[in-house]
Amino acid sequence: MPTIQEKKGAPKPRGQNPAVRHDKVLMQPGEYEVTKSSTFTLRLPLRKNEDNWWVVVSEDEAETVEEVVFRMWAYDEMVELRKLATKYDTVRRVHMIDHDVLNRLKMQRYMLSWTFEKANQRFELHHVGGVLSDETWDKVMRLQTNLLRHIIEQMNERYEFGG
């Protein structure tokens, strides 16, 4: 009876790596876990007055309603972003979070889309590696300051649970 000899030098079949937990790897994200669909939408009711757009309280008074979509951040992502925005004050010996930097990082990473580009194509959002491109960020910064401030305040109500 012919027998098949083991080929010398052939790579041995890899055994199961105990470090890889297939039950965890294959398990789909459940409730409470951040996925691509974990988004929230901010609505900005706007009214034009003397060439400037103003945010109004009620949508009934608005000429148009713009929307901005963000993705929720996961806990691990939050820690990493906060680290990037934290500086140590050597004189007062305290850690200071630079909230301007943190807000910029949040917008660059989690702002998925908005409707401002319908009225002005310059406001089209482009992402590179999941982050807003530098050119897009420059254009975002050209949005009226009062609108940007409103977006940041609304955004932080969700990210920082009420600020």
CA 57, 63, 66: angle at the middle one, nearest 5?
A: 75
Q: Does 154 bind another protein (CB under 8 A)?
A: no
Segment contacting another protein by CB under 8 A, of 1-9, 43-51, 68-76, 125-133: 68-76
Query: Hey, what's the torsion of the CAs at 45, 109, 155, 146, to 10 degrees?
Result: -50
The CB-of-64 to another protein minimum distance in angstroms stands at: 23
- DSSP secondary structure code for residue 32 in this structure: T
β-pairing, 111-114 with 64-71? antiparallel
Q: Which helix (H) or strand (E) holds 134?
A: helix 134-140
Note whether 147 and 53 are within 8 A (CB).
yes
Q: Does 83 bind another protein (CB under 8 A)?
A: yes
The CB-of-143 to another protein minimum distance in angstroms stands at: 25
Here's the x/- map for another protein, 16-55, by CB under 8 A: it reads as -----x--x----xxxxxxx-xxxx---------------
| Binding interface with another protein (CB under 8 A) | 21, 24, 29-35, 37-40, 72-79, 82-83, 86, 88, 90, 95, 158-162
